[in-house]
Homo-oligomer: A and B are copies of this chain.
């Protein structure tokens, strides 16, 4: 006898549960999504889900969707298709910051003000490059990208006890593109990936674009929570994506102990760590790196020069074993053909210029100064840094009791101040009382005035609501 579409749909979902494609606690695709995926009508899915609920295989949670029943663990799979509130939508913050006119204040933005960047090095590099060989100006790059830049990267990575070969490096256009290519190579839609909670919000946008499932590991002062990391391995993640050196948004650095424990776990579970070096050049002394422990067998390192050199000269890299790099080259040819040899040459010339290390030195000193000032000003508003970072541009701060970062961001935006509210960084949405500040973007006293006023408005609202509650 032929099965109805409803019965077949039920079979498919049961199969996905029995073979662990859907695990206990996982959210099922929405009725509409399922209908599209299985190419049947919405009513078929509605009926199939209803029968699965009746069978006690899944449950319906009002307003949240359908979830697989069964034993759930503490860390949970987060549905990456959640529609965010505009104020905590990762893409929304990126776009606000990218679109902001110069009169807008951007304490929430993820990069340095223009005049903090090494303008002189870039101008000098451009003049040099304008006289370079025609093939640098005109031709596609070699498949691996600019050789001299790769050799420079090798020398810079020796500090991590690495002895790399140029064929273990691929030049890309950005750190984001590096991660995107690695996701494309190693992951399929539905695969599980581990991220930090909180983490750089664009990681979540990338995860959404690839239709992955993310397990968020609470981030401590010394790295990811080791017990929760171990527990999350039951989801069979393929990749753990993290910032090394200086963590975004917390500013925390990995301890040797945590690096060692996590290294043992990824070796055992055969997980690849993507170690994002984007803030590495801000460090005074390098914090531990996973790559120093488990090498290229379990770590892919990526990075760019966006934060310390220029965001306009697009140039990043991937470090991995040659087998991965070969496959990544083919993917890159298919999807973007070539990296920019010109941008790589400008980057190389600017990095080689003697003014760059001097620029970094003065930049770090300046950051230390403005960071201390910023901390003082924030503390006057009862906004407390979660930790005092060793280096970098970020302060991850807890707001006064009861203040919601998203509400605060809405009020500040009206006054021309763009904040980065905590839940934009948090998959578990447990950072609603946190805000990330970029100390280099917090020079203008108006930011603190706007913050003070907005905090007062929210406190007054709470007070009047409490009074209303008391009177009832």
Contacts and interface: CB of A to CB of B under 8 A. Distances in A.
Given A91-B334, A189-B189, A340-B173, A119 B140 contact: no
A445 interface: no
B310 A138 contact: yes
Interface in A64-104: 91, 94-95, 98-99
Q: State the number of copies, please.
A: 2
Nearest to A331: B209
Interface in A291-346: 310-314, 329-331, 333-343, 346
Interface stretch (A53-61, A127-135, A401-409): A127-135
A213 to B, nearest CB: 15
A156 interface: no
A240 interface: no
Contacts of A91: 330, 333-334
Contact of A335 (B115, B137, B176, B330): B176
Contacts of A143: 95, 98-99
Given A141-B312, A209-B184, A202 B122 contact: no
Given A127-B130, A314-B343, A98 B338 contact: yes
Contact of A131 (B20, B117, B123): B123
Nearest to A131: B123
Interface residues of A, number: 72
A3 interface: yes
A329 B98 CA distance: 11
A240 to B, nearest CB: 19
Contacts of A99: 142-143
Interface stretch (A4-12, A226-234, A359-367): A4-12
Contacts of A205: 330, 333-334
Contacts of A95: 143, 329-330, 333
Contact of A115 (B134, B329, B343): B134
A174 interface: yes
B130 A126 contact: yes
A334 B91 CA distance: 7
Given A206-B335, A342-B312, A173 B173 contact: yes
A281 to B, nearest CB: 15
Nearest to A203: B334
A3 B8 CA distance: 11
Interface in A28-54: 38-40
Interface string A105-119: 000000100110101
A123 B130 contact: yes
A313 B40 CA distance: 47
A136 interface: yes
A225 interface: no
A245 B143 CA distance: 29
A221 interface: no
B39 A19 contact: yes
Contact of A114 (B134, B177, B208, B333): B134
**Which 10 pairs between the two chains have the least Cβ-Cβ distance?**
A126-B130, A205-B334, A314-B340, A19-B39, A312-B342, A117-B138, A180-B335, A176-B337, A209-B334, A312-B341
Given A5-B15, A8-B12, 5 more contacts: A19-B40, A127-B127, A137-B313, A184-B209, A312-B341
Interface of A: 3, 5, 8, 11-12, 14-15, 19-21, 38-40, 91, 94-95, 98-99, 111, 114-115, 117, 119, 122-123, 126-127, 129-131, 134-143, 173-174, 176-177, 180, 184, 189, 202, 205-206, 208-209, 310-314, 329-331, 333-343, 346
